Amino acid sequence: LTLGDQSQAETIRKGERDLNDKLSSVWRLNSMGEMAATLAHELNQPLTAATVYLHAGQAELTRLGPPAEGPAKTIDLAKTQLLRAGDIIRRMREQVATGSRSFTEERASLIVLDLAPVFALTGQDTDTTIALDVEEDDDQVLADRIQIQQALANLVRNAVDAVIGREGARVTVTGRTLGADGYEIAVCDNGDGIPEDRIDSIFHPMATTKAGGMGLGLSVTRSIVESHGATLIVSRNSQGGATFSFRLPRPTESEI
C-alpha cells in the first residue's frame, strides 16, 4: 500500500469508530430515557398509595388532640416529601415524552448504507451473512439520522441473535421507496420467528430472554420509530423468520 492508501484507510477506520461511538452514546441516552419512563410509571402508584395512608394516619392522630400534634406534624412533612417526589416523577415523564430530536431531510438509503462497515464486522464476528438491498432513488425522508441508525443497528443485532449458530444464517436489510407513503426499511432473518403469543410482550420494557439483558432494546427501538410518526411492525416472513419494518415520512408530510 502507498502512503496515501494507508492514510485513506485510517480515515475510513476513524470514521467507523466515530460512528460506533455516536451510536453507543445515543443508545445509552435512549435506554436511560426508557428506563426513566418505566420507573416513573411503576413508582407513581406506590407513592400515591403511601400519601393516602399517611393522610389517613394524620387524620387519626388529629382526633387524639394535642398530645398527637408532634407526630401529626412529622407525618405532614413526610406527605410533603412524597408529593414532591411525585412532582419530580411527573416532570421526568414529560421530559422523556417530549424530548427534543433533530429532524432533518435525509436520504434513507444513505442512513442504511453508512452502517455497512458496522454490519460487516458483526457478520464476520458471528458467521452471519448480513445483506443490504436498498433503493437509492426517491429516498428523501425527514428523520433524526443517528436515532434511526441506532434503531436499525439494534434490529440487526436482534436478528443476528435469532440466527446465530444456524447453518446459512442470514439477515437482510431492505429499503423500498413507497412514493407518497414514504420509505420503508425492513430487517428480515431466517430464524425461528416470534410466536404469536409473544409478539406484544417483546416490546415491553424489562422483557428479555438474554442472560444479563435489561429488556430495553425493542422498547427503545419502538420509541425511536414512533417519535418519527411511524409504527414498528413485526411479522413472519416467507423463510419462517421475523421481519421488523417501519416507514419514514417524506419531508413534506410532517411538521416535526
CA distances from 5 to 103, 120, 199 (A): 36, 21, 48
What is the pLDDT at residue 182? 96
Which CATH number does the domain 104-248 belong to among 3.30.70.260, 3.30.565.10, 1.10.150.120, 1.10.3720.10?
A: 3.30.565.10
User: At which residue does the C-alpha cell 443485532 appear?
Assistant: 157
Mean pLDDT by 10 residues, the chain (256 residues): 69 71 61 63 75 84 83 81 69 56 88 89 91 96 88 91 92 96 96 80 55 55 88 92 95 59
Distance CA 38, CA 41 (A): 5
Tens digits of residue pLDDT in 69-118: 888 888 887 887 677 677 666 655 655 555 556 789 999 999 999 888 88
* CATH 1.10.287.130 corresponds to the domain 5-97: yes
* All structural domains of the chain with their residue ranges: 5-97, 104-248
Cell of 106: 435525509
Task: Give whole-number Cα distances, 84 to 37, 54, 59, 91, 251, in Å.
Answer: 17, 15, 21, 11, 42
- DSSP designation for 134: E
Burial class (CB in 10 A: 0-12, 13-18, 19+), 143: buried
